């Protein structure tokens, strides 16, 4: 009996000792969680070239996915789900994923560092080598752990569907892309939509759109309505407890869709039956465009996180400088204010709860736009600010952050 107890104790302690032995002092991957505007542009191009709405069952396509886009996507997912960092790099006929995950509550050795080498193949990619710290991990065990982690994250169905679609994977380091050949199955899109918007979210969005339509019916057709009034009414109506986040996120998405003049039925077919809010001018700091930027960024931050919201906002300004309304630091300020507001919603901030007991005014939501340059062409922007690492550009961004930090809601 004593030997049996020792054996059982050893079986229980051995995995723990192995796990502790694989902890390291420094992360293998150290980078920010930001997303570049270039990646947003590439994702937009990929979606346009592989628009699922134009594909029929059985259509065969090959998508060229830039390695930097995969790299930033992996880093974003690891940051959001594990609070870690990740990278992706190509080599001849192989690719390597590196992930560093912090382990809370431990001093000294407090990072798990994982390497996994993938090999191109017919069908899904295969892990041919892996290691945790300096400990080699058998390929089959690595694949099992990967599938288990995806399952624990709640994406097992999506992972299974994606594996069924992929027919061939090829790494092209000279071109810096991964070639993915796939056969389209419409059920994947329906499943992804159901995953992104479960029934309780759709019900919350339907209620938010009904509430928005009812609010706007109280104003005359030519009214210029302060965004804060509408936002306060939509968010304050959310219930307490776990439903609060769902209802407030739904309200932000409905409001962003309204201000962007996009029909939610493109994403959610049921929205065709929802009441249509009348078209009015919602304004922030006296401007319709500021209200648009604020609402869209708030919805993005609440649903996808701050890095995605910041990257999309900056991408939009870069595009505007190339023939639109021009690069605008004032728009960036409204974007950043919206992002900060969306973060408060996602965090369930008590400061936001307190603010919603009163009324939200312009000065509560966004900083002054005075002195922030606007309508800059691409050539003028390059001449004056050079790029994202230029000191003059960084100084203006710091000024925007300083103004935001002075607002009680965002302290």
CB 211 within 8 A of CB 205: no
State the pLDDT at residue 14. 47
Same domain assignment for residues 213 and 183: no
Residue 5 forms part of a structural domain: no
pLDDT of residue 216: 92
Q: In this structure, are 229 and 182 located in the same domain? A: no
pLDDT bracket for residue 164 (50, 70, 90): confident
Which residue, of 193, 215, 244, is where some domain finishes? 193
Instruction: Please report whether residue 6 resides in a domain.
Output: no
Joined tokens for residue 222: 């030519």
| CA angle centred on 307, ends 301 and 312, rounded to 5° | 80
Asked whether residue 205 is domain-assigned, the answer is yes
Compare 385 and 315 and report the one with higher pLDDT: 385
Q: What percent of the chain clears pLDDT 70, i.e. is strictly above it?
A: 82
**Sheet with strand 60-66: strands edge to edge:** 60-66, 177-183, 166-172, 121-122
> For 82-125, what is each residue's pLDDT tens digit?
788 999 999 877 899 998 888 876 666 588 888 888 887 776 67
Same domain assignment for residues 144 and 184? yes
pLDDT at position 11? 47
Asked if residue 332 and residue 245 are part of one domain, the reply reads: yes
Kindly state whether residue 128 falls inside one of the protein's structural domains: yes
373 or 306, greater pLDDT:
373
Q: Write down the pLDDT at residue 406.
A: 94
Q: What is the pTM of this model?
A: 0.78
d(CA 165, CA 185): 7
In a domain, residue 371? The reply is yes
Q: Is the pLDDT of residue 154 over 80?
A: no
Same domain assignment for residues 215 and 351: yes
Same domain, 93 and 174: yes
Q: What is the pLDDT of residue 109?
A: 59
DSSP string over 38-90: HHHHHHHHHHHHT-GGG--TT-EEEEEEEHHHHHHHHHHHHHHHHS-EEEEEE
Based on the fold, state whether residues 177 and 206 are members of the same structural domain.
no
Residue 9 lies in a domain: no
Single residue among 150, 177, 193 that ends a domain in this structure = 193
Is residue 224 domain-shared with residue 130, that is, in the same domain?
Answer: no
**Calpha distance 369→14 (Å, rounded):** 60
Of 193, 228, 255, the domain-final residue: 193
Q: Are residues 189 and 204 in the same domain?
A: no
Q: What is the pLDDT of residues 18-67, one digit of tens each?
A: 555 677 888 889 988 888 888 888 888 888 888 777 878 888 888 888 99
pLDDT at 50: 80
Residues 202 and 79 in one domain: no
Q: Quote the number of domains for the chain.
A: 2
Same domain for 351 and 386, yes or no, is yes
> Per the domain annotation, does 302 fall within a domain?
yes
Is residue 10 included in any domain, yes or no? no
**Cβ atoms 35, 86 nearer than 8 A:** no
Do both 304 and 183 map to the same domain? Answer: no
Q: Which domain holds residue 336?
A: 197-410
């Amino acid at each position: 009996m004593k030997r049996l107890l020792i054996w059982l104790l050893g079986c229980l302690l051995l995995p723990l000792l192995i796990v502790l032995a694989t902890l390291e002092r420094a992360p293998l991957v150290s980078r920010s969680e930001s997303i570049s505007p270039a990646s947003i542009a590439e994702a937009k191009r990929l979606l346009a070239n592989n628009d699922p709405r134009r594909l029929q069952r059985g259509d065969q396509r090959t998508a060229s996915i830039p390695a930097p886009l995969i790299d930033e996507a992996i880093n974003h997912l690891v940051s959001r789900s594990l609070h870690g960092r990740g990278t992706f790099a190509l080599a001849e006929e192989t690719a390597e994923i590196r992930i560093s995950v912090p382990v809370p509550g431990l001093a000294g050795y407090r990072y798990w560092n994982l390497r996994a080498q993938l090999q191109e193949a017919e069908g899904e990619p295969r892990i041919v080598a892996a290691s945790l710290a300096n400990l080699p991990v058998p390929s089959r065990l690595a694949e099992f752990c990967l599938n288990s982690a995806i399952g624990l994250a709640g994406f097992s169905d999506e992972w299974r569907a994606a594996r069924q679609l992929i027919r061939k994977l090829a790494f092209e380091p000279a071109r810096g892309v991964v070639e993915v050949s796939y056969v389209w199955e419409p059920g994947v899109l329906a499943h992804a939509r159901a995953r992104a918007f479960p029934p309780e979210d759709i019900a919350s969005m339907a209620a938010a759109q009904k509430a928005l339509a009812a609010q706007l019916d109280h104003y005359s057709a030519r009214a210029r309505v302060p965004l804060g009034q509408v936002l306060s009414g939509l968010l304050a109506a959310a219930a307490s407890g776990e439903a609060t986040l769902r209802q407030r996120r739904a309200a932000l998405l409905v409001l962003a869709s309204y201000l962007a003049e996009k029909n939610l039925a493109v994403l959610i077919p049921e929205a065709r039956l929802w009441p249509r809010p009348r078209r009015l001018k919602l304004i922030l700091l006296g401007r319709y465009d500021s209200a648009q930027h604020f609402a869209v960024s708030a919805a993005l931050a609440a649903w996808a996180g701050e890095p995605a919201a910041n990257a999309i906002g900056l991408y939009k300004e870069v595009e505007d400088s190339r023939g639109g309304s021009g690069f605008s630091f004032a728009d960036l300020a409204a974007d950043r204010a919206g992002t900060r507001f969306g973060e408060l919603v996602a965090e369930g901030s008590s400061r936001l709860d307190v603010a919603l007991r009163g009324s939200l005014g312009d000065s509560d939501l966004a900083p002054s736009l005075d002195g922030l340059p606007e309508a800059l062409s691409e050539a003028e922007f390059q001449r004056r600010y050079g790029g994202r690492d230029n000191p003059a550009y960084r100084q203006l961004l710091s000024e925007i952050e300083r103004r935001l930090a002075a607002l009680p809601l965002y302290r």
